[in-house]
Structure 1
Amino acid sequence: MKDKTILITGANDGIGRATAEQLAGRGAHLVLACRDDTKGQRVAKEIMETTGNHNVDTLPLDLADFASVKAASEEFLAEHPKLDVLINNAGVYTDRLELTTDGYELQFGVNHLGHFLLTLNLLPAIQCCRHCTRVINVASAIHKKGVLDFTNLRGEKKSYNGTEAYAQSKLANVLFTMELDRRYGQDMTTNCLHPGLVGTRLANKKAGALTSAVWSMYKPFATRPEQGAATSVYLATNPEVRDVSGRYFDERQCLQKPSAIARNEQLARRLWEYSEQAVADFRL
């Protein structure tokens, strides 16, 4: 992996950091894309110290702000002629309605739209590595409970269920993976995965006090981030999946069939078209 450039979103914590550490240990050139660049730089320094790999850079990226995604894309393309692996890992969970800078429901906006825009903006670097680039989307098994409600992606409805919104965003991750493969499969492989139930701070950051407290009690019994990173690392590095694309993997690196709705090509096209319109002003 020493000649590979890998960009990981949300790489300063949880699964993203564990993924970065493991790939740095293999000698890859890492770009840690983080909302808090100060934390990102601290983590980059720690990874360099622990792995001995000093080829670790940071990139300021706020997936809840399309202008930030565009700026990060421009900065990356100006500094890196190619991108071998893109790991769309960052995610957010909240149990109360919040909106992104651009007015979209936060979980849909960050978990799907931000990554959608980032991926499309980085296509020039991705397509430089024709047939070699791997795009990896960290989804979740909860996508099987997801339903896309195109009438409520800006929080139009007064009632809000955080778990339903999270499931919707993870369904979008899987649909995006399948449609990206259909549209750009000649240029890259793209796969998605369920990392397992991992003891990260996902439900501690923006969730309410009760949800956060319950999650904190459960977290010690969940899978460690190092284990949760295993499938992302596998899809980024293993030659066995070099030509595998448009598929969904579980936490044991096994192929699984996503939900029937996640395999709906018409829905995937509709989501793609909606997403294109949403981010149109920020495309490069």
Structure 2
Amino acid sequence: MSARRVEEAALDWVCAHRDRFALGEDALAADGQVNRTWKPLGELAQVCASVCVGTPPSDPLHARVTELLDFAWQQTHKGEMFLLMQSLEPFATYPLEVYAAFASAGYRHPGYEASAAVVARTRGWRLTEQYPTRRLGVMEAERRSGLSPHGKVPQALDRTWLGGLPEPWTFERAAGYALTHVVFHLTEWGRTPQGVPPDLADYLRHWLPPWLDTCLEARMWDLSCELLAVAASLPSPPEPAVLEDAWQRVAAAQHACGAIPEEGSARDAAPPGQDGPYAFTDCYHSTLMAVFAAALTTARRSEVERAGQGVPG
């Protein structure tokens, strides 16, 4: 099972570098860089929450991701920092999006949810200008946090690149990342494949394999792993041979330490240092996405096998 081996090694790397996801003193600074503070922590929380739900408690990986999730929650002072962030940036959506990842796993802060509900009822919140995919994500974050979504999913979906069923040859990097997140939002990050409308499911089943092959050929490992997560989130995944080939190629790109670069290969990496062959910012997201996609793939494989079919991992 190529996916399982990739997942175990990638999770080893994440656990070994857990402290790199910790929030520093600049987490609440006015000039702080959100992409270097809250973004990595939020992505760690989301991946661990999804893997925790989809992995049986008897699986050793379940305990490991639960420990990581507890660590991430402690970094927020058990949710207190979300209240502070909202007082500093009332109409920023990223605090709610990060919080939603924790809320989906049962980590709640009633005080923050009550405060967020007040802001979410304002016209200013509803009228914040966002890319269509981001708006869909905010609506999903509202729902997972116990708030009333400020819009309707079908209307928001229609405004996204994927929702318009575009010509397949218009696929490129930005469109790829947009479509993966549309699927993540529609399926609660892989938990509910039936959340993908039939027309989108048919479209993706037909075109996802060649797009995935293109990204793998270009050694775009981060996007490739996201596409593999999408494949495992569809009501009917692609052919088993397509998935097994893709996972073998991802496994070949994985460094011995478990890290996977966003792009390129180990030959392109700098000489190994204290932190491994890649800078943390160059591999943490792709390595997390490998854990996420592999966990979904393994779970779907088990489901399909129980139904009398077979999807390799």
Instruction: Report the TM-score when normalising by structure 1.
Output: 0.27
Larger RCO of the pair (alpha carbons < 8 Å, separation 6+) = 2
Rg larger for: 2
Higher helix share: 2
**Structure with greater proportional strand content:** 1
